[in-house]
Homo-oligomer: A and B are copies of this chain.
């Protein structure tokens, strides 16, 4: 077998992600994936325990990519405030530019997540933990004043998720331009937090 040929496992993942995004979870079937991969449905079970596990790895992959992207964007920033902003803009940037991967993270609801191993679920929060740490640093350096960094981080994260998902879901009010909405909204999040938490 030529090494340049992509492994079937990878092929299945790509097809699944695409199919998932294109036609939604409900119409995603093992047989449909198999057909596109030019293989029998049962072959998928050689690489994935079941449909749920296939989705879990899909999620895991996306979360990994998201976390790495944010880390690469923010960790180089030495200044705490700069890093704080980098995390926020990085999160939104990734979501907007990687709809397939971003939607996968939030598309599958607790149904399929039911037995999602807690070990792997921790990973989901890696980029979130980064935000907590950064805020804590800001507090330690006397830049910010916030009682519960964990709470603040959760709130910010929720707000960002709202922004991204509204845009991706094309639920934006027709009165609002997409690009304008993103920029102003992110600015609102950042300034909204800083104006409250910044020590003058």
Contacts and interface: CB of A to CB of B under 8 A. Distances in A.
Given A109-B107, A195-B195, A196-B191, A185 B150 contact: no
Interface string A163-200: 10110010001011000010011001101110110000
Contacts of A161: 158, 162
A157 interface: yes
B169 A162 contact: no
A147 B165 CA distance: 22
The dominant DSSP class at the A interface is helix
Contacts of A158: 158-159, 161-163, 165-166
A27 B112 CA distance: 10
A185 B154 CA distance: 9
- Stoichiometry (number of copies): 2
A133 B166 CA distance: 20
Interface in A85-129: 107, 109-112, 114
A157 B162 contact: yes
Interface in A9-44: 24-27
Interface size class of A (residues with CB under 8 A): 35 or more
A155 interface: yes
A8 interface: no
Interface of A: 24-27, 107, 109-112, 114, 147-148, 150-152, 154-155, 157-159, 161-163, 165-166, 169, 173, 175-176, 181, 184-185, 188-189, 191-193, 195-196
Shortest beta-carbon contacts, A-B, top 4:
A158-B162, A24-B111, A26-B111, A159-B159
Given A152-B188, A155-B163, 12 more contacts: A24-B112, A110-B169, A150-B175, A151-B176, A154-B173, A154-B185, A155-B159, A155-B188, A158-B158, A158-B166, A159-B162, A192-B195
